[in-house]
Chains A and B, each alone.
Chain A
Amino acid sequence: MEERAIPRAAAGLLAALLAIALVACGNVGESGGSGPGAGEGGGPAITVGSKNFTEQYILGNMYALALEDAGFKVERRLNLGSEQIADRALQNGQIDLYPEYTGTALAAVLDYEGDPAQLDTPEQTYQRAKELYAGRDPADTMLRPAPFNNTYGIFVRREAAERYDLRTLEDLAEASPNLVFVSFSEFQGREDGFPNMKENYPALDFKDVEIVNSIGLRYQGVLQGEGDVGVGFTTDGQLASDRLVVLEDPKSIWPFYQPAPVVRTEVLEKNPKIREVLNEVSASLDVETMRRLNGRVDLQKEDPEDVAREYLEREGLIN
C-alpha cells in the first residue's frame, strides 16, 4: 500500500492542479480590462465606462473598440456599478462616456418629474432624456439610441402559449388562474414591477407565485415545466430560444429602455468624430442580435470583449 501510495498521491495532486488551472483560465472576468487603448490617435485618451451587467460589458466594449478603430486612444473602466455610480463617475470626469438606457435616465438619473411609463414612444423618451442631460452642469450629450427596447419580458413556454392562445399580457391575465408565475424578489417588491402589472391587467390572478432569485434557474424551471410563466429582460440570451415566447404588452405599462452613449459634452465638442462612430454602432443593433450576444456571454461563457469585437468585425464596423 505504501509504495503505490506516493505515485497515486502525486497523480491526484497533478489532477487537482490541472483542474484549478482550467477553472482559472475559463474564468474570464466579466469586467473588461482597463489597459491603454490600441489607437494611435493623438490627444488624451477617451475613457469608456459601463455599468455592471453583461449587456453593459458588451456595449462598453463595442464603444471602446469602435473608437480605437477610428483612431482614438481609449481607456476602459467597465463594471463600475449601478447607474448612480456610473453617472457620478461621468459628472466627475473619471469617465467620458458610458451606455445608459433612456428610461433609466429619466427614472433614476435625471430630475424628471413625470412618470417615464406615460411617455408614448421610444423617441419621446429619448428626447426628454436628451434635453435633461443637456441642461445639466457639466452638460452631457445623449447620442442616438440603439433601436431596441430592454425592458421586463414576461415569457412562457411555446406549448403553453399555443395551449392557452397567449400572445399578449391581456391573454395571460385571463389564463393566469391556471398558471404558475416564476418571479424574483425585486420584481415583486418594486412598484413598477408586479404591482404595476396587476394594476394595468387586473384580471391577473396566478395559481401560484414562486420567488426564484436566480435568473438561470428561473429560465431552466420554466423550460422544464416547473413553472409556466417567467419574468426576465427582453434582451436576455435565453430568449433567443424558440422554445420561449415573450408576451406583448399592448398597454405599454413600462418605460422604453433604449441604450445610448451618454458623453460629456465638452469631450464631444473636442472630438466630434465620437458622435458618428458611436451612432453607427448603435444603429446596427436590434433585439435579436442583442439576445444572441448576451447569450454568448451568459450561456456560452465567452468573453464580452471577444464577443463585441467579433460582432463589429462581422458587421464591417471595425477592421
Chain B
Amino acid sequence: MTASQLAVEGLSIDYEVGTGRYHALSDVSVTLDPGRVLGIVGETGCGKSTLAHAIPRILPEPPARVVSGRVIFQGVDLYAVPKWKLPLVRGTGIGMIFQEPLNSLNPAFRVYDQLAEAVIIRQRREAGLAPMFRPEQENPFDYSRHPRVRAGEGLTGPFVGSVATDRARRPRVPDSVRGEVLEYLRLVRISDPESILGRFPHELSGGMRQRVMIAQALSQRPSLLIADEPTSALDVTIQAQVLTLMKELLAEIRTSILFISHDLGIISEMADDVGVMYAGRLVEHGPVAEIFGRPRHPYTKALLHAIPSRYKADGDLDSIPGSVPNLSRLPTGCCFHPRCALARRECGEDPPPALVPVDPAPTGRTERDPPHSSACRFFSEVEGLP
C-alpha cells in the first residue's frame, strides 16, 4: 500500500485566549504508514497533545483555530468534510487513548456499558447498519449499505444514527456484544473480567481504568490509534504492564499508532519513528535508532542528555538552560536559538529553517523507514556538542 495511513500537512493551530494568541502548532507535517508506530516527544507545552487532538478533530474550536494545513486520513482531508460526518471516521477509523484515565470514563456508566457502546458502534458499522467510513471508495462516507438507503428512502442529513433513528430500528443487541466485551477485557489482561462488568469507574483503580480505556479503544479495531501519554498518570510498575500490553496488542491487532509521550525511554521502547517537537514545531524526525543514536538537532541532543542516568551518580542532573518559550511570543528565527549552544546570528534573524534530510542513509535502514531530517542549519555540528 503506497498511500500513508495518516498525513498531517503543514498544520498550524492557534489558541485564541482572551487577548493572546498562542501558536500551539506551527507548520507540522508528519506521515504515518500502516502498521507503524510514530512516537512524538517533547517538553510540556510543545504541542504534542494539540497534535493528538487535532487529528480526529476533537479540539474545541474556539479557542482552537486551524490556521492552515490539512489532516489527511486514508486519503480524505478531515478538515474538509462536514462536521457531522466526523463520527463515522472516529472510533473504527481513528481511536484514541487519553492522558487522564481517571476522567476518561463516564462516571455514570458501568464498565460494561462503556465497552458495549464502543463494541456496538463497530458491530453496527461492520454489519452495514450504520454508515461507515470507507476510504477505498469514491465517496468515503458510504451510506449505500444502510437499510434506509436500500429501502429507497434516502437519508436526511445529520440525523443519521441519532437517538431517534437508532431506537426506531435498533436490532436486538446480539449476545456477541457481551462476549466481545469480555474478550477485550481479557486482552488487556484483566484477569477476572466478569467481576468488573457491573462496576462504576470510580470503583476501579487507576491502572484498571486505564486498561478499560485501552480495551474500549481497541474494541473498535481502529486503523489508527492515537495514544496521548497513555501512561503518564500511572506508576512505574503499571506503566510497564500497560506498555508491554500495547506492544503485544500491536501484534494482535494490526494498526498504526501515534504514540505521544514526554518520556524518551518509553518512546525508544515503543516507536519505529520519532518526531521531536519544540514550541509547536517538529524539529527532528527519523527512525528511532538514528534519532537516539545520532541526534541531528541540538534540542534532541540536549533532551537525551537530560535523561537522569543511574550510572552517573555524581553531580547535578543535567537540564537544558533557559525555558520553553511563551507560545504567544515566539522568538524570531529558530525557536530554540535562545537556549542553543550552536546558535549564531542568523539563527535569530532568518526565518525558522525547514526540516531537511541529513546524512546519507546508514546501513540497516529499511525501505519503509523515513529519512532522518532535522530543522537545524548546523546539524553536522550537533555531534560535537557535549
A and B from one complex: no
- Which residues in B have some Cβ–Cβ distance to A below 8 Å? none
Chain A contact residues, CB within 8 Å of chain B: none
